[in-house]
Amino acid sequence: MKRLATLLTLALAALLTGCAGMRVVDSQVLAVANVPPGVQLQGAKYRFERLPSQVSNPEAGLAEQQAEQALAAVGLVRDDAAAQLSVLVGFQGTQYLADPWGYPYPGTYGSISIGRGVPWGSGVGFGMGMRFPPPTHYRREVSLILRDLKSGQVVYETRASHDGPWSDHKTIFATLFKAALANFPNPPAGPQRVNIEIPR
C-alpha cells in the first residue's frame, strides 16, 4: 500500500511538472477554401506578395518568415521563380489593460509589433475592486490569402486570432500562423477553435 501511494505521488508530481512546462494557445480560426478544378493546393509552389503599405515595414519580413515555416509544415513550397500561388500575409496586434474578467478597460489600447511591445496610452480610472496594476493582455491576429497566379482567383483565405496575457510576441504570432493553417487544405465550415501547446 505504501509503495502504491509512493508511485501515485511520483506520477502526480511528474504530471504537474509536465503541465507546468507547457501552455495552450487557443486561437479562433476561420478558413475558407475556394479551389477551382485543376488547381492543386497540396504541395503547390508559392511566392509572397506585399501590399504597398507593407513594402517598407520591417515587421512584414519577420511575419513572412513565420508564415513560411507554417506553410512548409502543411506541404507548400516557396519557389519565387516557379510559383503557382501568391501568398499575402497580414498581421496586427494590440495590447490593453484587462478587467478581472479579461475584458479591456476603455482607453487602454495600444499597438504592438511582432518583435516588441509598444507602450499603451493611459486614460483609465482606477476604481474599487480593480486590480492594481491591472494586468496587460494582448490581442493578436494573422491572416493568409492564397491566390492562383494563373487566374488571379483567391483559392484559400484564413485568419486566426488570440487574446491572452503572454508578452512573447514572436512565439505567439508564429503559433497563430500554424493555427491558421489547421486542417489545410480542407477546412471545416464556419469558425473553429484551434488549441496548440507550446513551452512556457
Residue 92 CA to residue 57 CA, distance in Å, equals 12
Taking 3-state DSSP, the helix, strand and coil percentages for the chain, each rounded to the nearest 5, stand at 25, 35, 40
End-to-end C-alpha distance for the chain, whole angstroms: 36
- Provide the pLDDT for residue 168: 93
Average pLDDT over residues 20-26: 89
Query: For a pLDDT cut of 90, what percent of the chain falls above it?
Result: 63
> Which has the closest alpha carbon to 46: 62, 25, 70?
70
44-101: pLDDT as tens digits: 999 999 999 898 888 999 999 999 999 999 999 999 999 999 999 999 999 999 888 7
pTM score, two decimals?
A: 0.79
Tell me the H-state helices in the chain.
2-20, 58-73, 169-180
Confidence of residue 102 (pLDDT cuts 50, 70, 90): confident
